[in-house]
Every structure is written in structure tokens, then in C-alpha cells.
Amino acid sequence: DYVTKDTHILAAFRVTPQPGVPPEEAGAAVAAESSTGTWTTVWTDGLTSLDRYKGRCYNIEPVAGEENQYICYVAYPLDLFEEGSVTNMFTSIVGNVFGFKALRALRLEDLRIPTAYSKTFQGPPHGIQVERDKLNKYGRPLL
């Protein structure tokens, strides 16, 4: 029973495990593979407490009306990510996990980024109005 913190990045993945793979194992695999897990031994693993950095699958719910599909909720500590880097965050969370063999299908459904982390993003170098003018996009968020 892991309790999330206000400083965690929270992700909700729709997971379809391979036949014979329990949803708990699939959720744990997604959390590990998208944070500190790897398919090989890394010599630096002994130098750092991976417990501080690893993602944790803290809840799994079956998808109503869908056979063998689950929503796996994963919490990631902010220490796992480089400040101000959307690229680093998305590479970690969704970069390599989609080819994981224990899963038949995987989709990121939702992502909550805490205020503490979003404040580390500097924004566009010329200001939001210049960016909106370049893109001719107004009245909505720019991602």
C-alpha cells in the first residue's frame, strides 16, 4: 500500500498483459521499466539506492467492459527527472516501456505533473505571445 506524495509525477497506463501475466506483475514491470529497471546488470547499481528513484505501481483497476485490460497507476519521484526537461521526463516515462514483452498493449492515458516540477520549466525564450504569433494559435495551451 504505497502512498503517493504531492511531489510525485503520477501516470495512468492502460495495460493489456500477455496471456498468463498477472496484472500486478504487468503494473510492476511498467513502473520498473519506465524508471530504474533495465534488462542488463549495470555496474553503477550498487553505488545508488534505487529505492529513491524507482517508479511504483500503487493501484490497478480493471477497465470496465474490457477483458484483460487494466489501468495501472504509477508514481515517480521527482529525483528521477532532470529539472526543466520535458524531453527527459517523457523519455523516462514512455521512452522504452512500450516494447516490453510482458505486455500485449500499453497506452499512457493520463499524466499529472506536480507544481514543484512544472515550475522548473523556463518556457519559451521570447515569451508566450511571440510563440503564439509564430504558430497562429490562441486561446488554448501550447504543448
Task: Please list the rounded mean pLDDT of every run of 10 residues in the chain (143 residues).
Answer: 90 96 93 69 57 85 97 93 90 79 91 93 85 94 83
**pLDDT of the residue at 61:** 98
Q: How far apart are CA 21 and CA 47, in angstroms?
A: 32
Written as nine digits, the cell of 23 is 496484472
pTM: 0.79
Give residue 63's pLDDT.
98
Q: Return the pLDDT at 130.
A: 93
**Ordered domains of the chain (ranges, CATH):** 9-135 (3.30.70.150)
Using alpha carbons, select from 85, 74, 102 the residue that is nearest to residue 18.
102
